[in-house]
Amino acid sequence: MLDHLFITGIDTDCGKTYITGLIAYHLKRLGVNCITSKLVQTGCSGIAKDIIEHRKTMGIDILPEDSNGLTCLFVYTFPASPHLSAIIDQHPFDIKIVEQSINKLKSQYDIVLTEGAGGLTAPLNQQMLTADYLSRYQIPVVLVSSSRLGSINHTLLSINYCKNNNIRLTVVVYNHFPHDNKKIACGSYKFIKSYLEKNYPAIKLIHCNDLQKKSNANVIDLFM
């Protein structure tokens, strides 16, 4: 089984945090000793707000690794792209420090699920995009899409960016927001499914309905 999985999205607010928490919830239900982490968080202080949401979705309390910052070492107060927030807070992002923390988590858990910030090309600092990090370390990637208008364009661009930049995209999760237009949501899902089957059959497509807590999803088969 994998020891590290990275969850990114087609843009900000597409549901990465929710999907990350759900995958972790099902892994725990199956007896897998897992933990989530956040590559970098902006717009808060203290424990990363997305880590708090992960724990709520998992149905567990805040962990010691959260309290001591190990699950998200770079938390910036200004709500912006990480590279800008780091400048404003005068605290440079360092990927080597992140890797050290992830390796420590790996030594304590079977698998670490790391949620990114924004999309694939979100800049972490002046030299590195999120995509550069994923390409360098060859971490298996889950791409969260959505049912919003425009998601087909963003999803296909993200898929092809991964394929053209040596990024190990393994799964696309289609996140259907409850109040989005049903016709658009259904049509978008069908188009993305057809596109993957035709062009990238090795990439799995999972509908978020199959990940709900009541679904008893076997996420080991789906993601690992």
Within 13 Å and on the Cβ side, how many CA atoms surround 72?
Answer: 29
Whether residue 56 lies in the annotated active site? no
Q: Which two tokens stand for residue 150?
A: 């425009």
Task: Identify the active-site residue in 28, 38, 190, 214.
Answer: 38
**Catalytic positions, written as ranges:** 38
